[in-house]
Amino acid sequence: MSKYSSNRFTPSAKKETHVVWRGIGLLLMIIVPIISWLGGEELVAIGKEQNWPFIWELTGYVQFPAEVFMVPVISNIAGWIASIEDLPAKLFLGFLILVVLSGIVSVVYAAVYRSIVPRYGRFDAPAPVERVRKKF
């Protein structure tokens, strides 16, 4: 047999992803940003009521230069964005909530994954156990 033979190891077909891991992916990609946006809107409303100082810096409408409204498609999008009240504050607080929630979900995911999935796979060997002897 030659050194470069065609008898290579071919891995078996990849198993399908478990439903729990798909659910965690859905949670990270869709549900957490929606919760973050809604939380940002709610925090802006609370901040306005209680006069939080940094909220007033970010409140108001977004203003675009006049050149943006000369392009037909972009003017529609810019007009929609400019009609959202307190957009910078909502985006800022929503991003902070997104970072916190993603971190919490990641830590929970890591803990669950560590407790369910075995440490060694099919192709891993456990670490060798070596006993140390004293030499005289």
Q: Residue 86: how many CB atoms within 10 A of its CB?
A: 21
Q: How far is CA 131 from CA 125, 126, 127, 135, in A?
A: 18, 15, 13, 12
Question: CA-CA distance, 102 to 39, in Å (whole number)?
Answer: 14
Q: Burial, 62: exposed, middle or buried (Cβ in 10 Å; 0-12, 13-18, 19+)?
A: middle
**Domains of the chain: which residue ranges?**
40-116
Each residue's pLDDT, cut to its tens digit, for the chain (136 residues) gives 556 666 565 666 667 777 877 887 887 889 889 999 999 999 999 988 998 887 777 888 999 999 999 999 999 999 999 999 999 999 999 999 999 998 998 898 888 888 887 777 777 777 778 887 777 7
CA end-to-end span of the chain, whole Å?
Answer: 49
Identify the pLDDT of residue 93: 93
Looking at the chain, how many residues does it have? Answer: 136
